Amino acid sequence: MGTRSRRTALIALTSLTLALTAVPAAHAASASCREVDLPVSLTRGQAAGEHVHGRLCQPAGSHPRTVQLLLPGLTYDHTYWDLPDREDTGRYSYTRAATAAGAATFALDRIGTGASSHPTGLAVTVDSNAFVVHQVVAALRSGAVDPAGFGSVVLVGHSYGSWVSWYEASDYQDVDAVVLSGISHQINLTAPVRLLPNFYPAALDHAFTGRGLDPTYLTSQPGQRYMMFADPAPVDPALRAYDEAHKQTVTAGEIANFPLILVRPLDIRVPVLLVNGTEDRLFCGVPGGADCSSAQALTAAERPRLGGRVPSVDAFVLPGSGHDLNEAPNARDWFAVAQRWIARTAP
């Protein structure tokens, strides 16, 4: 490729990325959103010396009874739930779909990510994540996030955020329903090779230079995110660039107990909705992954692992989607399914 062609391609990609970056502000026309910080601790009996950051969105001029607490996966923050598109259609925004359906959302930067505290990485585990989310649930109900409070709280997780939801719902019994996306109890045996070699110390990445992160904070190596989280599904090139520009961290503490997460007995006692992409290469397909070819197959694989007291389990599989469901061209289909299910299950 000649110098002129490379320059033209670079200008085009930069323009697309800038256009995407500017889009989320348009959401304000149909929803009222604001940033919220909450004091939290990592374990019981510990002083609330840390904080978590979230973005509360509600339909303009109303206060729904139910709030959806949105938990992103590893190396993502709350922006995963409000991804932009060039035409400002909201096609990649779960938040916009929820508020358009009359629901409130609180999209969280999990502890150790985004604008939340970054304690020592070894202390950021699935258990401390779950305890932090438990405190956020209490804050949503009590009025600490919004003065009116919320009568019903639904956990909506993606990937590691769904694992955190497993633990939180089982240990604290304080939510009304759970949506688990991008997850299963079976790992595709190629997943470790796809992921682990592509993490490196966040301090070595220009995106985190000067943040003072300890060596146990990791991030994805440049240019690897599509292969790690979306391949082989189609993703808009501009959205791929946005994803790369907004990447976050994962801690050694979160990775270290990963195998144990899969065998830990669960005791979820509220309705569950399972959502996976048919082309998810982390948790579905051979060798070793769950059967995500149909809702029936996914339910059959997962229901026995959620605990004997789960009252109902429904499922939806998004055709053609990889692991990052929200980046799929047809992401709106799963957004719509989730909103209808939540409206019926936790009104």
User: Taking 50 as the threshold, does the pLDDT of residue 7 lie above it?
Assistant: no
Q: Count of CB atoms within 10 A of residue 104's CB?
A: 26
Q: Mean pLDDT across the chain, nearest whole number?
A: 92
Could you tell me if 133 and 164 are in contact, meaning their C-beta atoms sit under 8 angstroms apart?
yes
Report yes or no on 13 lying in a domain: no
pTM: 0.92
Q: Which residue segment(s) compose the domain that 91 sits in?
A: 33-345
Report yes or no on 10 lying in a domain: no
Query: What is the tens place of the pLDDT at every residue in 48-100?
Result: 999 999 999 999 999 999 999 999 999 999 999 999 999 999 999 999 999 99
Report yes or no on 45 lying in a domain: yes
Eight-state DSSP code of residue 62: -
Report yes or no on 5 lying in a domain: no
Q: What's the domain count of the chain?
A: 1
Report yes or no on 319 lying in a domain: yes
Report yes or no on 28 lying in a domain: no
User: Taking 70 as the threshold, does the pLDDT of residue 143 lie above it?
Assistant: yes
d(CA 170, CA 307): 9
Report yes or no on 25 lying in a domain: no
What is the model's pLDDT at position 258? 86
Q: Which residue spans within the chain are E strands per DSSP?
A: 31-40, 50-59, 66-71, 104-109, 152-158, 177-181, 199-201, 217-220, 250-251, 272-277, 313-318
Residues contacting 54, CB < 8 A, separation 6+: 35, 36, 37, 38, 78, 106, 107, 108, 109, 136, 145
Eight-state DSSP code of residue 174: -
Report yes or no on 310 lying in a domain: yes
Query: What is the tens place of the pLDDT at every residue in 203-215?
Result: 999 999 999 999 9
Query: What is the tens place of the pLDDT at every residue in 262-321?
Result: 999 999 999 999 999 999 999 999 999 999 999 999 999 999 999 999 999 999 999 999
What is the model's pLDDT at position 16? 34
CATH number at residue 101: 3.40.50.1820
- Residue showing tokens 């956990």: 155
